[in-house]
């Protein structure tokens, strides 16, 4: 039977687990809830984005996509030296030993529950993913960024983050919010704006012939002040182009949609490995299953955490 970590001993460092999460919304919400308009929502500093192994860009080492794997103790499969990463060709994805990759459907363990939710008239299935990762202490555990449901401009129905950590026990921390959206007709925004989803730093493009090169690329820097100096007699079209480019960069496009009726699912829950845990909210529900996994064996174990 599943069990907690023992009371008299600490958990092994960086033990691996397979994590599976289902998020769903309640279709039949019958409540006269007063929606707060003073919510302060934010993303954590230590984050990671799940990668699609079928995406050619997924082979980019995980440490280049966010602070999570560049801080603290990154997984063994990830190099922490960004300069080395930039000069190293991406390695093929290995789902057995690489962390934070979306697992294929056949590797999921909650497919039955997800199918029942998809068929239900009472719930709307919005998210179902599984991945593997080393689980750290709370201070080092990265948060997986979540974006689920319909997209409305730069935002989704459900956004936020989720982290799993371990000390004497396994814990899940959810920092999720769900929102309705309305078209932006220049009406007054009644709710706090949603935070922008963190993005990985942009990497300079590399040609296949230059991937393995450690030499610094030759970069031509154009000094805008010199270009606009009358003594330099710049070309008129060149000056106009400079002004045009700078002015475009400072213009902020208003969002196409505005959020309303924002509800937050922010909880800390102690878990037992191998058990399905249900975290409830009037608008949003979550199922989560955390299973011990041994990357050296290439398959999950059915044994509880000891």
Phi, psi of 196 (to 5 degrees): -70, 135
Q: Which residues of 241-253 are buried (b: 16+ CB within 10 A; e: fewer)?
A: eeeeeeeeeeeee
Q: Is the pLDDT of residue 29 over 80?
A: no
Please state, rounded to an integer, the average pLDDT across all residues of the chain.
76
Q: Does pLDDT of 256 surpass 90?
A: no
- Work out the average pLDDT over 237-253: 50
Would you place residue 91 in the very low, low, confident or very high pLDDT band (cuts 50, 70, 90)? confident
What are the tens digits of pLDDT across the range 94-122? 999 999 999 999 999 999 999 999 999 99
Give the DSSP letter of residue 101: B
- What's the pLDDT score for residue 43? 97
User: At a CB cut-off of 8 Å and minimum separation 6, what does 301 contact?
Assistant: 291, 292, 293, 294
Which of the two residues, 6 and 45, has the higher pLDDT score?
45
Q: What percent of the chain has pLDDT over 90?
A: 48
Structure confidence at residue 160 (pLDDT): 98
Per-residue pLDDT band at 197 (split at 50, 70, 90): very high
**pTM for the whole thing?**
0.71
| Residue ranges per structural domain of the chain | 15-199+257-300
Kindly tell me if the per-residue pLDDT of 282 is higher than 60: yes
Residues 6+ apart with CB under 8 A from 289: 19, 20, 109, 110, 274, 275, 276, 277
Q: Which residue has the tokens 């799993």?
A: 164
């Amino acid at each position: 039977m599943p069990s907690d970590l023992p009371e008299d001993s600490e958990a092994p460092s960086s033990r691996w687990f397979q994590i599976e999460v289902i998020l769903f919304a309640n279709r039949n919400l019958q409540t006269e809830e007063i929606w707060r308009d003073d919510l302060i929502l934010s993303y954590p500093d230590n984050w990671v984005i799940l990668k699609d192994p079928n995406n050619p860009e997924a082979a980019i080492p995980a440490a280049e996509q966010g602070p999570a794997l560049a801080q603290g103790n990154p997984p063994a499969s990830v190099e922490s030296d960004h300069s080395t990463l930039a000069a190293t060709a991406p390695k093929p994805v290995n789902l057995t030993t690489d962390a934070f990759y979306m697992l294929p459907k056949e590797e999921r363990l909650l497919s039955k529950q997800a199918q029942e939710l998809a068929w239900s008239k009472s719930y709307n299935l919005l998210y179902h993913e599984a991945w593997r990762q080393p689980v750290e202490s709370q201070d080092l555990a990265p948060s997986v960024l979540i974006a689920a449901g319909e997209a409305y401009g730069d935002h989704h129905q459900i956004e936020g983050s989720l982290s799993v950590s371990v000390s004497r026990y396994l814990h899940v921390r959810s920092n999720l919010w769900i929102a309705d959206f309305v078209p932006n007709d220049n009406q007054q925004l009644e709710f706090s704006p949603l935070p922008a989803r963190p993005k990985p730093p942009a990497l300079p493009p590399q040609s296949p012939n230059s991937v393995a090169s450690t030499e610094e690329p030759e970069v031509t820097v154009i000094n805008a002040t010199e270009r606009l100096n009358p003594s330099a007699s710049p070309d008129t079209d060149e000056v106009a182009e400079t002004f045009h480019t700078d002015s475009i960069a400072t213009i902020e496009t208003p969002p196409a949609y505005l959020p309303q009726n924002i509800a937050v699912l922010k909880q800390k829950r102690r878990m037992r490995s191998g058990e399905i845990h249900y975290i409830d909210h009037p608008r949003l529900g979550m199922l989560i299953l955390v299973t011990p996994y041994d990357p050296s064996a290439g398959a999950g174990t059915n044994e509880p955490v000891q």
